């Protein structure tokens, strides 16, 4: 494993969800700079209350990520939480993670936090798990320290996490806050790989 270095900055990909907001708040409270990867400047309006920097680029286009990860020590990849995710959506997530990892390795990123889940429909389960496991194998063969956090194990009521995207739904956010703290702990304390 690589030696831990000072946390220069943390990059969040997929920070638009409530989980991302909790993670951002925790890092800011610790004085750790946060950068958010966003597709367009309209998304930035959601984070005007936070002291964060933005990288405007689509992670589906690796050429747009080149040179964007200067002074970033950790990447946290948050999946897109939607109730009806197709297998195509999971392929997109897989390629986004591959692009983030590839550019992270080139730019000297020290750690990758990969949030994943295994709540798949019956027919999608095999292919979706294969995509997840293939990406974990890529992390394993990379020179980057990594932590895999299985969302299903961290959040018992998965539907609560899905409802967090809706502004008008009251949700007990205790488990989501704990998951955010797990992400921060994986960076700050350099926790080992989980499955």
Query: Each residue of 101-123: pLDDT tens digit?
Result: 999 999 999 999 988 876 655 44
Contact 81, 17 (CB under 8 A): yes
d(CA 168, CA 5): 41
Beta bridge partners of 91: none
Domain residue extents for the chain: 10-188
In this prediction, residue 153 carries a pLDDT of 62
CATH topology of domain 10-188: Rossmann fold (3.40.50)
Is it the case that residue 59 has pLDDT exceeding 80?
yes
Q: What is the mean pLDDT of the chain?
A: 76
Instruction: Encode pLDDT of 24-47 as tens digits.
Output: 888 888 888 899 998 887 877 777
Check residue 43 and give its pLDDT.
74
pTM of this structure: 0.80
> CA of 159: how far to CAs of 34, 93, 110, in Å?
28, 20, 33
């Amino acid at each position: 494993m690589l030696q831990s270095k000072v946390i220069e900055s943390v990059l969040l990909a997929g920070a638009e969800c409530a989980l991302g907001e909790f993670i951002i708040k925790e890092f800011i409270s610790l004085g750790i700079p946060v950068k958010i990867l966003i597709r367009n400047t309209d998304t930035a309006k959601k984070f005007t209350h936070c002291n964060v920097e933005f990288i405007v680029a689509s992670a589906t286009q690796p050429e747009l990520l080149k040179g964007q990860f200067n002074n970033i020590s950790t990447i946290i990849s948050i999946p897109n939480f939607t109730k009806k995710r197709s297998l195509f959506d999971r392929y997109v997530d897989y390629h986004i993670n591959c692009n983030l990892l590839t550019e992270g390795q080139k730019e000297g990123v020290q750690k990758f936090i990969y949030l994943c889940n295994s709540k798949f429909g019956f027919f999608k389960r095999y292919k979706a798990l294969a995509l997840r496991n293939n990406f974990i194998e890529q992390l394993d063969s990379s020179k980057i320290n990594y932590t895999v956090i299985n969302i299903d194990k961290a959040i018992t009521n998965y539907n609560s996490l899905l409802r967090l995207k809706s502004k008008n739904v009251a949700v007990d956010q205790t488990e989501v806050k704990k998951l955010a703290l797990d992400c921060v702990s994986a960076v700050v304390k350099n926790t080992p790989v989980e499955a």
